[in-house]
Amino acid sequence: MRKQELLKAKYSSLVSQTIDSPIMVFDIWELSDVFIALFIILVFGVLFYSWGTMFTLLSLCLGFGPVIKKKYPKGIFFHWPFSHLRMELPGLVNPKSNDRRFSD
């Protein structure tokens, strides 16, 4: 037991358990892009059998998506509609202080 602790103190190094960069596939696509593409293939290629729609969405997801993500900051697909289209999500996501109170 003592020898293992000495070896651990002498030769070991701490490993960070957080991932600081996204998991990449072929150094082009993030893992989330690949799962979105698989979902598109499942829905439009298998269930609806709409090849034109599937290839259009795949080109948007796998072709233009990574280019936009490299050019703009992270989260552009979520923040752009809210800032430019004046969307609001009242409730748990975006609570507002309402003067009206409702009883249960």
pLDDT in tens, 62-98: 998 888 888 877 777 777 777 777 766 666 555 565 5
| pLDDT confidence band for 58 (50 / 70 / 90) | very high
Whether the full predicted model's pTM is greater than 0.85, yes or no, is: no
Q: What angle is formed at CA 61 by the lines to CA 57 and CA 66, rounded to 5 degrees?
A: 155
Please state, rounded to an integer, the average pLDDT across all residues of the chain. Answer: 78
